[in-house]
């Protein structure tokens, strides 16, 4: 089965072609980061309008890149939610219209299931069951995964997601949006031990997260230095970035190790935009090696939002006979645990 995947949940327009026998044939991605950077975050109306402009040309270029004619496409998978409702509407209506015109089925895919299954696109994919850490700008969750659609939530952030915390900490220091890559780059130049930030909620049982206190601690550190010195030096920013990143990755690693011990599993899948952070990968590998665990993650280009993960996730469900009716139903909020098993 040849599936066209469409991703428009936020600020990236992603398209891909996935063949259930041959694998990923082609993918393309357009990022709106430069446009939103001017505003310090995603502007939903601008995101939706840009998806309208970019989606159809990106679909055609992906077909051309793979040498595929539209008559060869068997089905379409598109991001149904969660995400920005306007952006989701663009992808949903485009996918539904093309599927109707081409006379093929279409299926709405859960955005986070796409992330969760993205490591399956690699040469050495994980095998079910496993624990998944979904860590992005909008989500920080630990999920027990027995199979596709067989998800049990183990823990989640009670406030800010990890990616959101990275963005807010970066903004405090005057760094561009999105903050994660800039924090990571600065952190590599930071001084070890100058600042010691708290590891929130690691001293209590359970697998939930909270990053709002860490965000406040970072703000207090920034303001104290500004009061003392007038402004932050480049080294101040690097040292704060280092302490902040270490606190976040330590917290995630501790909770992931605890989740494996609690479920008696040995495999951890890490997915979402923050999973591209190299320090987080190092910490997780070190922490899980101590309990005989193994970490799986997607290549960096498939950690952020992309069409390949939607095409793959959709192909699994379409191949099992699932498809949607003609109704256009984007879903801004959609619990992962509500998905049917296949």
The answer to whether the annotation marks 147 as part of a ligand binding site is no
pLDDT band at 165 (very low <50, low <70, confident <90, very high): very high
Q: Which of 252, 254, 253, 225 is nearest to 238 (CA)?
A: 225
Structure confidence at residue 138 (pLDDT):
86
The answer to whether the annotation marks 167 as part of a ligand binding site is yes
Give per-residue pLDDT as tens, 3-27. 999 999 999 999 999 999 999 999 9
Give per-residue pLDDT as tens, 240-282. 999 999 999 999 999 999 999 999 999 999 999 999 999 999 9
Q: Which of 116, 173, 172, 170 is nearest to 146 (CA)?
A: 116
The answer to whether the annotation marks 157 as part of a ligand binding site is no
The answer to whether the annotation marks 264 as part of a ligand binding site is no
The answer to whether the annotation marks 305 as part of a ligand binding site is yes
d(CA 140, CA 160): 8
d(CA 252, CA 273): 14
The answer to whether the annotation marks 182 as part of a ligand binding site is no
Mean pLDDT over all residues of the chain? 96
The answer to whether the annotation marks 277 as part of a ligand binding site is yes
């Amino acid at each position: 089965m040849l599936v066209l995947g469409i991703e428009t949940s936020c600020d990236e327009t992603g398209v891909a072609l996935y063949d259930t026998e041959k694998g990923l044939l082609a993918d393309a991605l357009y990022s709106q980061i430069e446009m939103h950077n001017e505003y310090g975050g995603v502007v939903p109306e601008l995101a939706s309008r840009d998806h309208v402009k970019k989606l159809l040309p990106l679909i055609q270029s992906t077909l051309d890149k793979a040498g595929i004619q539209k008559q060869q496409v068997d089905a379409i998978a598109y991001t149904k939610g969660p995400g920005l409702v306007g952006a989701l509407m663009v992808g949903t209506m485009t996918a539904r219209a093309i599927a109707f015109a081409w006379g093929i089925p279409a299926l709405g895919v859960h955005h986070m299931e796409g992330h969760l299954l993205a490591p399956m696109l690699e040469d050495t994919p994980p095998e079910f069951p496993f624990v998944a850490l979904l860590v992005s700008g909008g989500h920080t969750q630990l999920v027990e995964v027995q199979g596709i659609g067989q998800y049990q939530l183990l823990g989640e952030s009670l406030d800010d997601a990890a990616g959101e915390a990275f963005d807010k900490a970066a903004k405090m220091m005057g760094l561009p949006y999105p903050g994660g890559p800039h924090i990571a780059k600065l952190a590599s130049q930071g001084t070890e031990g100058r600042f010691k930030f708290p590891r929130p909620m690691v001293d209590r049982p359970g697998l939930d997260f909270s990053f709002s206190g860490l965000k406040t601690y970072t703000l207090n550190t920034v303001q104290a230095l500004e009061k003392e010195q007038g402004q932050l030096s480049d080294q101040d920013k690097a040292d704060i970035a280092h302490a902040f990143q270490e606190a976040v990755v330590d917290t995630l690693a501790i909770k992931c190790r605890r989740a494996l011990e609690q479920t008696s599993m040995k495999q951890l899948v890490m997915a979402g935009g923050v999973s591209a952070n190299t320090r987080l990968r190092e910490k997780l590998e070190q922490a899980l090696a101590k309990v005989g665990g193994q970490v799986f993650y997607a290549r960096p280009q498939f950690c952020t939002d992309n069409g390949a993960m939607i095409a793959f996730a959709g192909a699994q469900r379409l191949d099992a006979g699932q498809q949607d009716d003609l109704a256009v139903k984007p879903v801004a909020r959609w619990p992962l645990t509500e998905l049917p098993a296949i």
